[in-house]
A and B are shown apart, each in its own frame.
Chain A
Amino acid sequence: MVQFVVDVLIRAVDLALIAIGLSSVYSLIRFPNVALVQYATTGALLALGLQMAGLPLVVAAIAACALVGIIAVVLNVVVFERLLRAGSAIAMVGSLALSMVFSAIFLVTAGPRPKRFELEINPPLRFLGARLTEHQLISVGISALAIGVFALILFRTDLGRCMRATATNSVLASATGIDTRKVTNTVVFLSGVMAALGGIGLSVKGEMSAQLGLDMLLPVFAAAILGGLGNALGAAVGAVVIAAAETMVTNVNFGPLFGESVLFIPAAYATAASFLLLVVVLLIKPYGLFVSEVKRV
């Protein structure tokens, strides 16, 4: 049971980092940016490249996160601001196209074979009977901290108040003296940083491939939609729900249920489980688990 919780947390934090970014940016510019998952891969590959160039992993990770944040802002200004003038559907298709371009770049620069960070291999730690490695612990800790910092920014700072104001009513926000474009680009920067951190976290705990981002696409969207698109903290909870569903499918021995000693569901069904869950929840609560605002009639 403890192992289950640990596994869910390990999976959930990185998912949450990307999903929170997706949801926050959505709240401001009203389209889900598919390319965000590719920012995660970009972050992981950049960190790996910088580590191979001789930087310590921590420095490489910080630099990679900052770089991805900048890339996210540049793409927002150069590509998405223009596409959005034609409508959010166009912008979403554009972000899909951009994702394909990213995939091609990853294949050309990093090749098709999976890679790993250079990490010392330590024996796993034991925690109340659950196993987890030191790297997993540190990575989960950093990601959880990042989520906490983002929540603090959102609810305790002027930037956060401006963000929520712009998300609620951008016309009124500018009439109140808020530079909504600057607020949006700051959030886009943060979403890039968080996506990169999520990608690095995922790669520290497993392998990194050019597919990393696209593999995350469905669970990240499921988490963000479950949480109610545009609701940042809802996305974090959505990530936990999705991670729990996935972990359930892959890690739980269903054998005893059917009178057999061992019966695992193939890991390939993990995504299917999260989607089944998503569809069921949306049928019951079409605006996600948490509706941030009472709909006025």
Chain B
Amino acid sequence: MIRVNKVRAGYGDGPDILQGIDLTASGGEIVTILGPNGCGKSTLLKCIAGFVRPRGGAVEMEGRDVSAVPVHEKVKNHRMGFVPQTDNVFSTLTVADNILLGARHLPVAERNERYAELMAQYPSLASKQERKASALSGGERQILSLARALISNPKVLLLDEPSAGLSPLMMHEVFAAIAEIRDRTGMCIVMVEQNAFEALGVADRAYVLSLGKVAIEGRAADLLADPAMRHLYLGGEPPAAEGKPRFAAV
């Protein structure tokens, strides 16, 4: 579904932030991208989406080189959904308009049906449909952004830290929802995350970036079990099942 091939990329005249990245993701799997702040996770996701044009290498979707295809065309032609890390809602528009914008190219009947489904799924939004998105809390915006991306039934979903700013309970709900979407629709999901333990818990495979390169890649379960990985990147032991507080270094 997605194939990133030796991609190098950066901003303006700046240095290469991504220095030859290889990554694949197929339908029905969640691939998570982990790594310290500033290592290039968001840049990689923006590269896949098309906001950042690769300087070398290629991004393929459904077997076609899409490195130079504008974002809005990928959204339509490859049914791509994208949730950015910040500024992820249209703050001057209502919650309902935010979500419906995501379904502009669907037939009206389907759009309304999907909208109703999402409202049932996310009651926190349902009660605020006519509110301006600027009046939502950080977590509610996160959910709103997810709903906007999901309403079009994407085939490819790119999520930049979907759990950022969510309470632990809400975070589990969102991850559960993402896993459920994968199982039900066979969507291809690429998810950048900071909450590594939780992300590895739902993901099928993972890539750990370091300084613009893939440092570790493998099955999520294997990474969780790997003591070296745990020590270097996950900051110690996984949270105990009773849910006692954990202070993880990133």
Contact = CB atoms under 8 A, between A and B. Distances in A.
B51 A177 contact: no
B72 A164 contact: no
A296 B93 contact: no
A179 B72 contact: yes
Nearest to A158: B104
Contact of B148 (A167, A168, A176, A179): A176
Given A161-B101, A172-B84, A296-B134, A178 B72 contact: yes
Contacts of A173: 90
A174 B90 contact: no
Given A161-B97, A165-B93, A177 B104 contact: yes
Contacts of B134: 293-294, 296
A230 B92 CA distance: 12
B71 A174 contact: yes
B196 interface: no
B49 A175 contact: yes
Contacts of A296: 91, 134
Question: Which of A162, A172, A293 is most buried by chain B, counting CB atoms within 10 A of its CB?
Answer: A172
B58 interface: no
A175 B82 contact: yes
Nearest to A178: B72
A165 B94 CA distance: 11
B76 A169 contact: no
A293 B75 contact: no
Interface in B56-102: 70-73, 75-76, 82, 84, 87-93, 97, 101-102
Given A171-B84, A294-B134, A176 B93 contact: no
Contacts of A177: 72, 75-76, 102, 104-105, 152
Interface residues of A, number: 22
Contacts of A76: none
A167 B93 CA distance: 11
Contacts of A161: 93, 97, 101
Contacts of A133: none
A176 B88 contact: no
A158 B51 CA distance: 24
A292 B132 CA distance: 11
B101 A176 contact: yes
Nearest to B88: A172
Given A177-B72, A177-B105, A164 B90 contact: yes
Contacts of A165: 90, 93, 97, 101
Interface residues of B, number: 27
A293 B80 CA distance: 30
Contact of A171 (B75, B87, B92): B87
A172 B72 contact: no
Contacts of A292: 92
A169 B148 CA distance: 14
A180 interface: yes
Interface in A170-210: 171-180
Contacts of A158: 104
Question: Which of B49, B72, B93, B102 is most buried by chain A, counting CB atoms within 10 A of its CB?
Answer: B72
A180 B73 CA distance: 11
Given A161-B101, A293-B134, A296-B134, A174 B72 contact: yes
Contact of B51 (A169, A171, A293): A171
A233 to B, nearest CB: 13
A113 B45 CA distance: 60
Nearest to B75: A177
A175 B93 contact: no
Nearest to A182: B72
Contacts of A176: 72, 75, 101-102, 104, 148
Interface string B156-176: 000000000000000000000
B101 A168 contact: no
Nearest to B87: A169
A94 B157 CA distance: 41
Given A177-B104, A296-B134, A169 B91 contact: yes
Contacts of A180: 72
B49 A168 contact: no
A180 B82 CA distance: 16
A165 B88 CA distance: 12
A292 B91 CA distance: 10
Which 9 pairs across A and B sit closest by C-beta, in order of nearness? A177-B75, A175-B82, A174-B71, A168-B92, A174-B72, A168-B90, A179-B72, A165-B90, A177-B72
Given A175-B84, A177-B152, 12 more contacts: A162-B104, A165-B97, A168-B91, A169-B89, A171-B87, A172-B84, A174-B70, A175-B51, A175-B82, A176-B101, A176-B148, A178-B101
18 contacts: A161-B101, A165-B97, A168-B90, A169-B87, A169-B89, A171-B84, A172-B87, A173-B90, A174-B51, A174-B75, A175-B82, A177-B72, A177-B75, A177-B104, A177-B152, A178-B72, A292-B92, A293-B132
